[in-house]
Amino acid sequence: MDSLDNLYREIILDHYKNPRNKGLVTDPGYVTVRIKNPSCGDEITVQTRLEDGKIGDCRHEGKGCSICCSSASVMTETMIGKPLETAHAVAANYLNMVSGKPFDPAVDLEEAEVYAGVRQFPARVKCASIAWQAFLQTLEKK
Amino acid sequence: MEKNPWRGDFPQMDADSVFLDNAASSLKPQSVIDAVDRYYRELSANVHRGVYFQSYEATRLYEETREKVAKFIHADPEEIVYTRGATAALNLVAASFGMEQVGEGDEIIVSELEHHSSVLPWQHVASVKKAQLVYVPLDEQHRITLDGFRSVLSERTKVVALTLVSNVMGYVTPMAEIIALAHARGAVVVVDAAQAVQHMPIDVKRLDVDFLAFSGHKMLGPTGIGILYGRRKWLDAMEPIEYGGDMIDIVEKNVSTWKDTPYKFEAGTMPIASVIGLGAAIDYWNASDLDKMEDHTRRVRQYVFTQMKKIPGVTIYNPSAESGIIAFNLDGVHPHDASTFFAERKVCLRAGHHCAQLLIKRLGIDACLRASFFFYNTFADGDRFVETIKEAVRFFRNIGF
Asked if B195 and B69 sit in the same domain, the reply is yes
- Distance, first Cα to last Cα, chain B: 36
pLDDT of residue A6: 86
* Cis status of the peptide bond prior to B262, with omega within 30 of 0: yes
B67 part of a folded domain: yes
Sign of CA dihedral B108, B112, B118, B124: positive
pLDDT of residue A141: 82
Cβ-based contacts of B399 with chain A (< 8 Å): 8, 13
Domain that holds residue B109: 35-285
Asked if B360 and B377 sit in the same domain, the reply is yes
- As a whole number, the mean pLDDT across chain B is 96
- As a whole number, the mean pLDDT across chain A is 93
pLDDT of residue A80: 97
Q: What are phi and psi of A139, to 5 degrees?
A: -75, -35
Cβ-based contacts of A37 with chain B (< 8 Å): none
CB B133 within 8 A of CB B110: yes
Q: What is the mean pLDDT of residues A52-74?
A: 96
Looking at residue A69, its amino acid is: C
Asked if B268 and B317 sit in the same domain, the reply is no
Looking at residue B133, its amino acid is: L
Asked if B156 and B213 sit in the same domain, the reply is yes
ipTM computed for the complex: 0.88
Q: What is the mean pLDDT of residues B271-292?
A: 98
CB B92 within 8 A of CB B228: yes
Q: Is the pLDDT of residue B248 over 80?
A: yes
CA distance linking residue A126 with residue B34, whole number of Å: 37
CB nearest B352 (choices: A13, A17, A39) = A39
B278 part of a folded domain: yes
CB B272 within 8 A of CB B216: no
B226 part of a folded domain: yes
Percent of chain B with pLDDT over 70: 100
Which residue among B251, B270, B285 closes a domain?
B285
The total number of structural domains in chain B stands at 2
Which residue among B240, B266, B285 closes a domain?
B285
DSSP reduced 3-state for B255: coil
User: Would the CB atoms of A66 and B337 count as touching at under 8 Å?
Assistant: yes
Asked if B297 and B268 sit in the same domain, the reply is no
Asked if B301 and B272 sit in the same domain, the reply is no
pLDDT of residue B15: 74
Q: Is the pLDDT of residue A41 over 80?
A: no
Q: Chain B contact for A106, CB < 8 A? A: no
Q: What is the mean pLDDT of residues B191-212?
A: 98
B7 part of a folded domain: no
Percent of chain A with pLDDT over 70: 99
pLDDT of residue B193: 98
pLDDT of residue B1: 62
Q: State the CB neighbour count (10 A cutoff) for residue A37.
A: 18
Q: What is the mean pLDDT of residues B237-243?
A: 97
Asked if B311 and B226 sit in the same domain, the reply is no
In this structure, of A28-42, B111-125, B256-270, B275-289, the range with the lowest mean pLDDT score is: A28-42
Q: Residue A22 pairs with which residues in a beta bridge?
A: A60
The CATH number of residue B117's host domain is 3.40.640.10
pLDDT of residue B51: 86
pLDDT of residue B49: 81
Asked if B376 and B273 sit in the same domain, the reply is no
CA distance linking residue B91 with residue B238, whole number of Å: 13
User: Would the CB atoms of A1 and B337 count as touching at under 8 Å?
Assistant: no
Cβ-based contacts of A120 with chain B (< 8 Å): none
Q: What are phi and psi of A86, to 5 degrees?
A: -65, -40
pLDDT of residue B14: 81
pTM of the model: 0.94
pLDDT per residue as tens digits for the range B307-347: 999 999 999 999 999 999 999 999 999 999 999 999 999 99
pLDDT of residue A3: 84
Which residue among B234, B257, B285 closes a domain?
B285
pLDDT of residue A142: 57
CB nearest A123 (choices: B340, B353, B399) = B340
pLDDT of residue B398: 93
Q: Is the pLDDT of residue B304 over 80?
A: yes
CB nearest A124 (choices: B340, B360, B400) = B340
CA distance linking residue B307 with residue B315, whole number of Å: 12
For residue B160, give every residue at least 6 positions away whose Cβ sits within 8 Å of its Cβ, in sequence order, or none.
B108, B109, B153, B178, B179, B182, B187, B188, B189, B190
Q: Is the pLDDT of residue A40 over 80?
A: no
Percent of chain B with pLDDT over 90: 96
**What structural domains does chain A harbor?**
2-141 (3.90.1010.10)
**What are the start-end ranges of the H helices in B238-286?**
272-286
The CATH number of residue B366's host domain is 3.90.1150.10
